[in-house]
A and B are shown apart, each in its own frame.
Chain A
Amino acid sequence: MPANKFNGFTEYGIGIGLRATHYDHILSRKPVCDWFEIISENFMIDGGRPLQILDQILEQYKVVQHGVSMYFGSAEKPNREHLRRLKDLVKRTKTPWVSDHLCWGSVDGRYTHDLLPMPYTFEAAKLTAQKVREVRDYLEVPVAVENVSSYAEFHVSEMTEWEFLNEVVERADCGILLDVNNIYVSSQNHSFDPMAYVNSVPAERVAQIHIAGHSKYRKYILDTHDHPVIDPVWKLYDRAIHRVGHTATLLEWDDSIPTFKEVHDEALKANKFLASSVLATAS
């Protein structure tokens, strides 16, 4: 199950997000790391140091592209320039799959640069799935959509978030980047059972899993990617792994970033759960 058509039939292990603060360490020490996830938009440029660094990383490591501004859920058409540059990057990295978020963020050509929540309606699911298909067909690589953290819900919603996710991925026949931290954050902000979410995801579509830390405020939780992963999120990860098998896992750490070793060690904690999932399968 872990190697499936949504992750290009790959068996990737545990990776971390490639961040500028770790470039020197990675290039000079060449630490062992199963794979790196890059933010596509940071490299959708014409030249200069970022592409030079990327090429050096590509010589040594496996890289997967993760986007932040495709906005599958925006009501407008995909931006052609964005798609063209993304495809150029796909050719460069040879990423086995690309992922972006199940959200919207632009309207009438204006970008918020945020991952705004979807209204969970059939109209939105249909339009989003159509856009995912268009992007996948253009890029010619599998696409996985990631569930986002959210802080607001809409009156017009007709289903739960996980029902909406299922509706979109079934209509689009695409993969899922399951972010268990985002499930936890949203479950706390919207008072639902995060385990019910994890249990409802179509396991055969999960291409990759994200883990991360967050920040807790008095009345809500923000998805800040600036802390270690907390136990309740590991529990969701454990459950997800038991359902979907040994799946490519990535730790996101984007703010107050510690040393490479600290970030990588935090990611490698996932090994404990992956091992127990293998044992459970064997028995």
Chain B
Amino acid sequence: MKLLALQRTMARAVMQPLTRSEHMQQKAPGGGKMRAYAGRFIKPNDRLTSFERLEIYNRQYWFRLFSAMTEDFPGLRSVLGEKQFDAMCQAYLIDCPSTSFTLRNLGSKLESWLRAHPKFAAIKQTLALDIARLEWADVEAFDNEAKPPLRTEDLAGAAAANLTLELQPYVRLLDLKYPVDDLLLAVRKEEDTDFASNAFSERRKKKHVRAVAKLKPQAIFLVVHRIENSVYFRRIEPEEFAMLAALRQGKKLGKALDAAFRNSAMPVDQRAGAVQQWFQNWATLGWFCRPRQNAANA
């Protein structure tokens, strides 16, 4: 068997889902018996059959990927419950196997995949999508690039209305139907507490269920960002969110301001003050990058 053929043969078996009891399936990829499939390319030894030797890799593959998903999506796990989360992960990873050298990107397609497969969250679909989006935004906010921040002098001479401002790549904007920021913080706090007290997972499960059951829909506008390399969640008003979203789309400042107040109930006399306050906050938090030409000259 040539190298490529052997690697394809082994990878198909290694990436085939485990049974419910977390063992390798008896059925081979494409049909037939797995024992015969494994025996065709793997040698047995005096202690293990070809099947058993291949099974070690099959189990390690799934345990490693489940572990990575659990680490990145503890909130979604609490929403779906452990069993359903595991079922969802398996289905997701079959459809979207890793195509990156790093496990960091494993969950990058989860939100869109979950949207197309509503059966895993059923009546909790909206909540599940919200928490999945938040948890992926958290991954991106953690280690996306931080470009040189915008300085006052970068704006000198620019006509305000025609100005284009670029948001930092690590700033993520989320419009959510549920207050999942609170939920995720609660889940993390529980996990920290349980880790510290060495408590049992059964108690953790029950607490999660209660927290999810209590969660009522509430539209929120959230910025996931970082300060001194720690990730934070910041709720903002819909107008501020609309303006940031427009700027992220590359709209000029004048258009972004139009977008901010298009459907706004904010009294007209308060708008200028609000915009001024937003800019102060954004400058303090360093959410905007220096224009490319200026950054290169810095």
A residues in contact (CB < 8 Å) with B: 41, 44-52, 69-70, 74-75, 79, 81-82, 104, 106-114, 116, 119, 121, 123-124, 127, 151-156, 189-191, 219-220, 222
Contact = CB atoms under 8 A, between A and B. Distances in A.
B104 to A, nearest CB: 7
Given A48-B142, A112-B14, A82 B48 contact: no
B42 A46 contact: no
B102 A44 contact: yes
A110 B98 contact: yes
A111 B61 contact: no
Given A123-B3, A154-B6, A116 B101 contact: no
A209 B68 CA distance: 29
18 contacts: A47-B143, A47-B146, A48-B142, A48-B144, A49-B142, A51-B143, A69-B102, A74-B7, A107-B8, A111-B100, A113-B103, A123-B3, A124-B3, A151-B57, A152-B56, A153-B42, A154-B6, A222-B56
Contacts, number: 125
B65 A113 contact: yes
B61 A114 contact: yes
Given A116-B10, A123-B2, A151-B56, A45 B104 contact: yes
Interface in B9-25: 10-11, 14-15
Given A46-B169, A119-B3, A151-B56, A220 B47 contact: yes
A127 to B, nearest CB: 6
Given A44-B102, A74-B7, A119-B6, A49 B15 contact: no
B41 A156 contact: yes
Given A44-B101, A74-B7, 18 more contacts: A41-B102, A47-B145, A49-B143, A75-B4, A81-B101, A82-B101, A107-B4, A108-B8, A111-B97, A112-B11, A113-B68, A113-B103, A114-B14, A151-B56, A152-B53, A153-B43, A156-B6, A220-B47
Nearest to A152: B53
A108 B7 CA distance: 10
